[in-house]
Structure 1
Amino acid sequence: WSQSLKAPSHPVFRDAERFVVNILCDDQVEVSQRFARGGTEKFTGCPTRPGLGGVPLLGGCSAYLECRRISSFPGGDHMIFLGEVERIERTGRQPLVFGGGRYLVAQPHDIGPPPAEGGANIARLQAVRLATRALVGLSDELDETMGLGVWGNQGPTIVRWEDSSQPISRNLQTGLVLPVLTSATGLAFAAWLPPEVTAPLIQAELAAGSDGQAPAEARAVATQLAGIRASGIVRLDGTNAFADLYGTSISAISVPVFDQSGAMVLALTAIGASDRFDISESGTLVTRMRECAATLSQRLGATPAGAADPSPVLQENRP
């Protein structure tokens, strides 16, 4: 590896007998950005443990290469260091990849700009691949049943389930098409997708369940969706809408994932029996799902400010 002769830390590396290559994990974007910036307090707040010779191993990495410096030689305005790897440690975490000015996925296809033909489909497949891996890790971490939703031809559709040790059902169906207005996944898409995409299904559901109060119901739905956008999350507490499917009352949480255009492309959803499922705003589940969705959105190129408000307006059915 090489280092600029003008780097503030160069005298330390120049005289050090050992160094370590910390291969960051795919959820350590903030750590990567911290060490890419100038400054002398980069380790502040970063958990470390000592490696061979006391070199600092950063916590949570994908792998570590602990090396002994055996030679160094000048390379223009840089110093080139040659080391012998003394110990390799792998943690099983997926590595963070950077190239072409952006963070990438360690898979055959990255999440860069898609080709012109079929670009939308390819971009969504790449987003699903990235989110699936995150979903597996989050479900395992929190021991909750989680699903990954997309907007399909028939509406909100679950394309991946991850079970917990207390599954809500032994028959979770991939490809399950959900209602828009009574499912957490559906409400998430209704809140953030453009109204021209969701309005036909919303109006059909309102008409199917209407008792002559469709205009009032449409206004109530618009108010509900505005509240969801304001909070950034869907929380359903104790719904019986899926009792025939799951055999019990459930609670659910769904958070949106956005792409570089600010469009919602995925919904991360967690479900559980309502008597044990914590959907509180300050709870671990809500907090971690928000963090996971934000990280995925960042990886897909969304700005930190999030997606633009589509401000859907449901059309009232008037005679």
Structure 2
Amino acid sequence: MATDKTRAGIQSVEVGFALLDVLAHAPGPLMLRDLAAASMSAAKAHRYLVSFQRLGLVAQDDATRYDLGPAALKLGLASLSRLDGVKLARSRVGELMESIGHTVALAVWGNRGPTIVHWEESPESVTVNLRLGDVMPLLSSATGRCFAAHVSQDAIAPMLQEELARARKIGRTDVPATLADVRKLLVEVRERGAARVVNTLLPGIAGFCAPVFDSDGHMALGIVVMGSTAGFDTEWNGAVDKPLRAAAARLSADLGYAADAAGTGLMR
């Protein structure tokens, strides 16, 4: 079977795509000379741009600058609409699990809160008594804390009040005691780019959860890593936290999220 390198193609299409790629990564419209500088002569670039304009892939403004056109937008939106974040994440968690050596799970925001939708258990890790479909608490799980930091605060207010009341009733001291404590915790989660718990959800178990954002800057899912505290690196920027956040960032980028874009990062 022919590989991508040996399979016959149309070289002019590949050459012309270089112009579209430059526009896609530019902060705004470009003059012809700037657009062509990296890959071809201005005269050659102009011929491609004429065809791209006819197709709607490129538009030209009054100042003779070029930018992506409506057809390019339509293609981009169609691609984004077909991206399944969970499906894409499921194809990658095995590699992450093997590199970290601990159980990896995926969670999404369901109608009752953060819900585990995929589970990949490391053969070297201890068994954690959780099941697919389990809804994670907001205050005592890394998953819950991660979602609480990024979803609409109005959406989680009743759940937070209920969990705070329950914690006070049984005298828990390992979770926030007041709404002010909760807000402080969630600020830390957003600043660090992940949530962490140690001996909080389950005795002897530690966990991290990193958010994955979609093209609108909303949290699409959480990637969770957990394991026994006996062999689990609980340090920030350590052997678990760092590769987990890197994996979440790569997946976010593949879902169209721009980390430097102006957005709230909150789910609506």
| TM-score bracket, shorter-length normalisation | 0.5 to 0.7
Alignment match, 2:179: 218
What's the offset of the Cα at 1:132?
0.9
Alignment match, 1:113: 81
What's the offset of the Cα at 1:264?
0.6
Which of 257-266 and 164-173 deviates more?
164-173
Q: Which amino acid in 2 is paired with 1:231?
A: R
Alignment of 1:284 onto 2:242: no
* Structure 2 residue corresponding to 1:261, chosen from 205, 210, 216: 216
Query: What RMSD in Å do the two structures reach over aligned CA positions?
Result: 3.6
With over 3 angstroms needed to count, the CA separation of the structure-2 counterparts of 1:167 and 1:111, relative to structure 1, is farther
With over 3 angstroms needed to count, the CA separation of the structure-2 counterparts of 1:168 and 1:284, relative to structure 1, is same
What's the offset of the Cα at 1:171?
5.1
Contact 2:136 2:143 in 1 (8 A): yes
Query: Which string of whole-angstrom CA distances, capped at 9 and with x for unpartnered residues, describes residues 244-278 of structure 1?
Result: xxxxx111110001111111110000001012101
Secondary structure of 1:112's partner? helix
Contact 1:251 1:277 in 2 (8 A): yes
Q: TM-score, normalised by structure 1?
A: 0.56
With over 3 angstroms needed to count, the CA separation of the structure-2 counterparts of 1:170 and 1:205, relative to structure 1, is closer
CA–CA distance in structure 1, aligned partners of residues 250 and 177 of structure 2 = 38
Alignment match, 1:132: 90
Secondary structure of 2:81's partner? coil
Alignment of 1:251 onto 2:206: yes
Q: Which amino acid in 2 is paired with 1:180?
A: L
What's the offset of the Cα at 1:200?
1.4
Alignment of 1:175 onto 2:157: no
Alignment of 1:152 onto 2:160: no
Query: Which string of whole-angstrom CA distances, capped at 9 and with x for unpartnered residues, describes residues 194-231 of structure 1?
Result: 1112111111111122259xx96111111111111111
Which runs of structure 1 show a deviation greater than 3 angstroms over 4 or more consecutive aligned residues?
A: 37-40, 99-103
Alignment match, 1:231: 192
Alignment of 1:3 onto 2:3: no
- Give the structure with the higher percent strand: 1
Alignment match, 1:298: 253
CA–CA distance in structure 1, aligned partners of residues 129 and 224 of structure 2 = 17
Alignment of 1:270 onto 2:255: no
With over 3 angstroms needed to count, the CA separation of the structure-2 counterparts of 1:206 and 1:304, relative to structure 1, is same
CA–CA distance in structure 2, aligned partners of residues 196 and 144 of structure 1 = 34
Alignment of 1:308 onto 2:264: yes
Q: Which amino acid in 2 is paired with 1:251?
A: A
Give unmatched runs, 5+ long, in structure 2. Answer: 1-8, 16-24, 26-35, 40-46, 49-72
Alignment match, 1:316: none
Q: TM-score, normalised by structure 2?
A: 0.66
Question: Percent of aligned pairs with the same residue?
Answer: 33
Q: Which amino acid in 2 is paired with 1:195?
A: Q
CA–CA distance in structure 2, aligned partners of residues 223 and 271 of structure 1 = 23
CA–CA distance in structure 2, aligned partners of residues 268 and 220 of structure 1 = 24
Secondary structure of 1:178's partner? coil
Contact 1:192 1:264 in 2 (8 A): yes
What's the offset of the Cα at 1:111?
5.0
Give unmatched runs, 5+ long, in structure 1. Answer: 8-32, 41-76, 79-98, 104-109, 115-122, 244-248, 312-319
* Structure 2 residue corresponding to 1:166, chosen from 105, 114, 124: 124
Q: Which amino acid in 1 is paired with 2:212?
A: V
Q: Which amino acid in 1 is paired with 2:184?
A: T
Contact 2:168 2:177 in 1 (8 A): no
Relative contact order, CA 8 A, sep 6+: which one is greater? 2
Q: Which amino acid in 1 is paired with 2:105?
A: G
Contact 1:146 1:271 in 2 (8 A): yes
* Structure 1 residue corresponding to 2:201, chosen from 241, 244, 260: 241
